[in-house]
Each structure stands twice: as structure tokens, then as C-alpha cells.
Structure 1
């Protein structure tokens, strides 16, 4: 090879072919020089543009996968849930694998939402099962976790079953998009984000990629409630 460099993960074979799988997104330029048996040299400059796809994977779920978020008597059994694994963009601009546990009937909806958010480079700090937080919604929110299924009562209202128990509701960037009740703001430390006029990374705003993509799937945003829940989106508006 002459000058420049190939994307990480690619290499040049002796026959002058480029092989391998790119390991990093970005743009590279490389000048490749090849000489035949007579000593004739040919040069060509190639530009490589490498992108990262959402790379969706959908898997079945077992009760053993949900030790803290599922129990006998929940409205949806593990057989009605799916693990939706995707690439996500972190707040640092790097790519990570994230996962959501969702109702099987809404996989298409949420895949569409995640795709449009990904295309718009909307970041999520983390995306993991609430089981990582031992089923605690408050711990999950404090960790700024984007999540879906969790068979539980409404945080701050133990008399009502949360829509997350059905797997057709999702909370996104919970610190930057607080949940407000009549007496509290969840999670602790998120109160400054009640000022929605000053944008900060990870906030969901009307007209933004997340709000528009959710509306396109006819889902509802908790921001419209009297006590707004800026992180919460659901299929039936609850």
C-alpha cells in the first residue's frame, strides 16, 4: 500500500483485494500501488466510508432471564415477551449494544422508533434490563437507564399496575426526562431538566426525532399529562 490507511479491521491481500470486517465507523483514504511481473505500477486512491447499522436482534425470553421483573401472576408471560437488542449511541458518541425487553406485539413499533432515533444520532446513556437494577424502577431511573418491561406497580402510586408490566411502554433517558408526580420529581437530581426550554443532550423535545417517531407509530407521550412524565411512552397512553 502506498499512503493513507485502511479502516481498522480491513487489510490488503497480496492480490490487491481488500478483505476483513470494519471495526470502527468513520472515513479513511488510502492510495494502493500494485506492480505486475514486468514492473508496471498502477496506483489508485480509494475512499472508505464506514457506517454503523442499528443491527437489530430479536430473541425469545425465559423466566430465568427476568429474575426481578417477572413473577407468576404478571399480565404477560415471558413467552409473550422478546429481547430486542440494538446498537445505541452513547453520550460519549461511541456505539454500544443495548437491549430492551418488550411485548412481542410491539417489536415492530419500537424497532421503528429506535431506527429513527439512531439515524438522527439521538444518544441514550444506557439501555439494559431493569433486572440489572434488581427490578427497582427508582434505581433504574437514577442510572439514567432506557428500559421497557418491568412487572410492577406505578412508582409513587402502589394502587395501580404500571403499563410497563405489559411490555408496551418504554422510558427513555430517565434523568434528562424526569417523571413528575404531585409530590416528587423522579429520579433525584433531575429537577433542573424540568426546564425544557434549554436543550441538553438526551432530552426529548416536541418535534425531535424521538417524539416524531413515536407519534408516527401512534404511541402516546407522558409529557402531555397534568403531571408530566417526559421519559414515558406507551402504546395505549397509560
Structure 2
């Protein structure tokens, strides 16, 4: 399985990885207000969030610039994840703020968009998601769908329900991406028991 997991990777890029961490620019505050960010006492303040600009490898093997909003204390850890993914040659379809989809998680997933902060509850519950705190990141949700025996999301990920045939952009255990996440201390949703959220990674430790 480990050898097959290498099929999730492309050739590592020759150009060095670059990233930038910013306090939320005013334009980003305007962009996320009343979408992923809510006027709710439980929602992180703008000052508690960070805006990241990150290089990533595309499925065509090119280099693109992506963006994420995460909890400010998590910013460097998040950058390190994407630096490692870049060095592995792991392709990412696109990385836009979920606000480009009006903070609609279903639309963002269907577009195979990788995103992070979104003040929302866990689907089907009243519990805040780790995304609501800027502590979770979704990566390639089409190639890594949320799965239960009776349901799969997004529907566009149906072709990736079989996790034994590993293709570019998939996250599987055993494999180099999950090994890296383990090393860095991130939780992977593919390890959950009652549903498998292969696109979900979260920082559940103290910051």
C-alpha cells in the first residue's frame, strides 16, 4: 500500500517553496465578514486570525499561489504542512477562501477547493466545527471525500470512494502525506471510526 500511495504524488518542483503570513488585511476582513466570519461571541476576532499566501503544486505540475485563513497561533504550523506537501510534489486543485463560495461548504467541496477557517457547526449537529476556530484545513475534498457506508460528500468524489486505487491528490494511510501529518502532530479525519473524512486535517493540541 505504501508503494501505491506514492501514486498520489507528482514530481517535486524545482523552485523553492514560498509563503507569507499576514495579519488579516482590511480587504480580507471585508471579504469574509458575514460569510465565513460571523458577529458571534464564539467566533474568533479578526485579530486572532491570520491570512496565508502559499505556493502549491497543481494537477498539471505547475506552481500556483493559494490562500487560507487560519487561527493566528496555528499559522506557522499550517505553512509547514503545505511546505512539506509542496516538497513531496502533492498536487492541490485550488486553494481559495471559502468566501468565494459564500462560505457554503458543499459548494466549496464540490469545486475541489482546499480551505480552512469557516465559522460553522458540524453538519447535522449544533457543535462548532474545528473550522470555526481556524484549526482545521480541508485538502482536495473531491479526491478525498467524506465517507460513510450510506453517504459520500461531495458527490463529485464518488470516483474516489475506492481508496485502494491511489491517484494524484489522494491522502491515504499508509502514505507519505499521513506520515508527515503524524510527524507534525496533526489529526487526520481518515482515522475516524464512524465516518472517514479523508480531506480533513485538524490541530487538536494546545497552541
Distance between the aligned counterparts of 2:176 and 2:69, measured in 1? 22
RMSD: 1.7
Cross-structure match for 2:64: 96
Distance between the aligned counterparts of 1:69 and 1:90, measured in 2? 25
Cross-structure match for 2:119: 151
Confirm or deny: 8 A CA contact 1:220 1:235 kept in the other structure: yes
Q: Does 1:64 align with 2:64?
A: no
Structure 1 gaps, min length 5: 1-49
Cross-structure match for 2:5: none
* TM-fit CA distance, 1:183: 4.5
Distance between the aligned counterparts of 1:124 and 1:64, measured in 2? 26
Structure 2 gaps, min length 5: 1-12
Distance between the aligned counterparts of 2:183 and 2:43, measured in 1? 27
Distance between the aligned counterparts of 1:209 and 1:118, measured in 2? 12
* TM-fit CA distance, 1:122: 0.4
Structure 1 residue ranges, 4+ long, deviating more than 6 angstroms after superposition: none
TM-score for the superposition, normalised by structure 2: 0.85
Greater relative contact order, per chain length (Cα 8 Å cut-off, separation 6+): 2
Give the number of the structure whose residues are more often strand, by fraction: 1
**Number of aligned residues:** 187
Distance between the aligned counterparts of 1:184 and 1:104, measured in 2? 34
TM-score for the superposition, normalised by structure 1: 0.74
Cross-structure match for 2:137: 170
Mapping 1:145-224, distance limit 5 Å: 145-155=113-123, 157-181=124-148, 183-224=150-191
Corresponding residue SS for 1:126: coil
Corresponding residue SS for 1:59: strand
Distance between the aligned counterparts of 1:161 and 1:181, measured in 2? 21
The partner residue of 1:228 within 170, 173, 196 is 196
Cross-structure match for 1:111: 79
